Amino acid sequence: MSFPLLTVTAVVPAVGAVLTAAVPAARRTAAKWLALLFSLATLALAVLVAVRFEPGGARYQLTESHAWIPDFGVRYELGVDGIGVALIALTALLIPFVIAAGWHDADPLETNSSRWRPTQGFFALILLVEAMVVISFEATDVFLFYVFFEAMLIPMYFLIGGFGDRAHSGSDENAAAQRSYAAVKFLLYNLAGGLIMLAAVIGLYVVAGNFSLQEITAARAAGTLDMATNTERLLFLGFFFAFAVKAPLWPLHTWLPNAMGESTAPVAVLITAVVDKVGTFAMLRFCLGLFPDASKWATPVILVLALISIVYGALLAVGQRDIKRLVAYASISHFGFIILGIFAMTSQGQSGATLYMVNHGLSTAALMLVAGFLISRRGSRLIADYGGVQKVAPVLAGTFLIGGLATLSLPGLAPFVSEFLVLVGTYARYPVVGIIATVGIVLAALYTLVLYQRTMTGPVKEEVRAMPDLHLREMLVVAPLIALLIGLGVYPKVLTDIVNPAVEYTMSDVKRTDPKPEVAVEAVPAKNGEAAK
């Protein structure tokens, strides 16, 4: 098609970011509505991308290709497969909710100008992150992907460090120091991963002579690309390390609890439901696509790390006293499931991992945003400061419960489907790994139900007695997410039809087929003189 739909889908939020930032400081409300308008326009374009995409068609569709830096073989190449379409849709869907939920998060703290925060800058940064994430899901040129993979760290740094959570138990100076620490830690971890990836990107160019994902995978499939075993493994490790930091995978995860804990709830959703998905997406697209043999070589170690993430993250979630850090450690556990599904290298596992990315984004957004509404009312992130909320704010408690039940993958809600597929796909090839991973399910039920019990049930604490229930704006944020969690839990075929063809291509890249089930066949007794079968 001649119309550059993918480019426009990424450019619209970028333009929205520039225009929102240009709104005068005195017109805060105008900046908010402008940002919301551009996020809704991006959502409409993402829906158009999904409509124009043909699941049974070519692997990469709606492609665009233009010379960018011809002397180094760098091209502006875009294209989407089913996995990219699903994650673009997730990103575009969540950003309007993030903006609406954070409607007052960047309002001035007080009239004192020294504590003033630019409202328009907050929403402009959110749109800028959206633009960079969207183009990361579209890029099929490795260098182009790398540029935006790294560039998104800058607006995220300012969102974490400059617009932190107001519900902090310490002094203002201590809160600012904690935000600064979290932002710097986020930046340094991800920059370290990005620098190692840059070396691998350069090495890939030396070996392949270009940065085009489609050309390199085609050359590998045809046997015309000669890549030494050790070279491929080193390049794979360079890419995987950066993606494992972003994902985040144990032991490279420690930046996430700090970043989510010190951010506002909408920014915490932006981190774990949107930005971190770029890491797991890139494992599927680039690690398995560019380095299939090295991916199989590294699989045993990666599966062990994924198992540790599942169990470790869940155990630490059980022991948390801070609501937002609990959700952060739960996300580490969930990302372990996603990576487990990817490297199980079965169609069920990879389909489940892709669905998990989408469903985790929805469930975490629902839980974290409601938690943010709760925290903003009480002014505290500590679980011990709550009790009996369901008696004074039943709608808030009910939506909090549904978000929690989705987090523990209750049957009937969307995450159950993805978690089930991951476990089935893992068990088919690695039975012991699949069995151990089920420990995460038990621990998820524990930390979710204990969180609900301690905050929502029991005697009403005096500090929450006058707590208001959800307002109309807040219900408009949460209700669609809950509807999607229920709808995709009952009818996941909407997503699987788009995702499964892309998974088949990925399986062919690594030359893997699903293990055949081992079913004992009993002998059938002979009848009427016939030979027994």
Which of 81-90, 99-108, 135-144 has the least mean pLDDT? 99-108
- Look at residue 211 in the predicted model and tell me its pLDDT: 87
For 323-371, what is each residue's pLDDT tens digit? 999 999 999 999 999 999 999 999 999 999 999 999 999 999 999 999 9
For 400-440, what is each residue's pLDDT tens digit? 999 999 998 899 999 999 999 999 999 989 999 999 999 99
Q: Is the pLDDT of residue 518 over 80?
A: no
Which of 59-73, 100-114, 458-472 has the least mean pLDDT? 100-114
Q: Which amino acid is at 70?
A: P
For 131-167, what is each residue's pLDDT tens digit? 999 999 999 999 999 999 999 999 999 999 888 776 6
For 197-216, what is each residue's pLDDT tens digit? 999 999 999 888 888 888 88
Chain Cα centroid distance, residue 447: 21
Angle at 106 between CA 104 and CA 110, to 5 degrees: 95
Rounded mean pLDDT, 462-471: 86
pLDDT band at 112 (very low <50, low <70, confident <90, very high): very low
Q: Which amino acid is at 87?
A: L
Please state whether the peptide bond connecting residue 292 to the residue before it is cis, i.e. omega within 30 degrees of 0: no
Interatomic CA distance for residues 265 and 368, integer angstroms: 6
Going by C-alpha positions, the residue among 506, 356, 502, 418 that lies closest to residue 55 is 502
**How many other CB atoms are found less than 10 A from the CB of residue 185?**
17
pTM for the predicted model, two decimal places: 0.89
- Look at residue 262 in the predicted model and tell me its pLDDT: 85
Average pLDDT over all residues of the chain: 88
Written as one string, the DSSP assignment of 106-161 is TS-SSS-GGG---HHHHHHHHHHHHHHHHHHHHB-BHHHHHHHHHHTHHHHHHHHH
For 274-324, what is each residue's pLDDT tens digit? 999 999 999 999 999 889 889 999 999 999 999 999 999 999 999 889 899
Chain Cα centroid distance, residue 206: 32
For 265-285, what is each residue's pLDDT tens digit? 899 999 999 999 999 999 999
In residues, how long is the chain? 533
Interatomic CA distance for residues 421 and 419, integer angstroms: 5
Interatomic CA distance for residues 417 and 352, integer angstroms: 7
Task: For the chain, report the end-to-end CA distance as a whole number of angstroms.
Answer: 57
Q: Which amino acid is at 6?
A: L
Q: Which amino acid is at 5?
A: L
- Look at residue 104 in the predicted model and tell me its pLDDT: 82
397: Cβ contacts below 8 Å, ≥ 6 apart: 389, 390, 456
Going by C-alpha positions, the residue among 25, 42, 18 that lies closest to residue 93 is 42
353: left (phi over 0), alpha (psi -120 to 50) or beta: alpha
β-bridge partners, 295? none
Alpha-carbon Rg for the chain, nearest whole angstrom, is 23
Interatomic CA distance for residues 531 and 129, integer angstroms: 70
Interatomic CA distance for residues 221 and 217, integer angstroms: 6
Interatomic CA distance for residues 83 and 66, integer angstroms: 23
- Asked if residue 226 lies in contact with residue 257, where contact means CB atoms within 8 angstroms, the answer is no
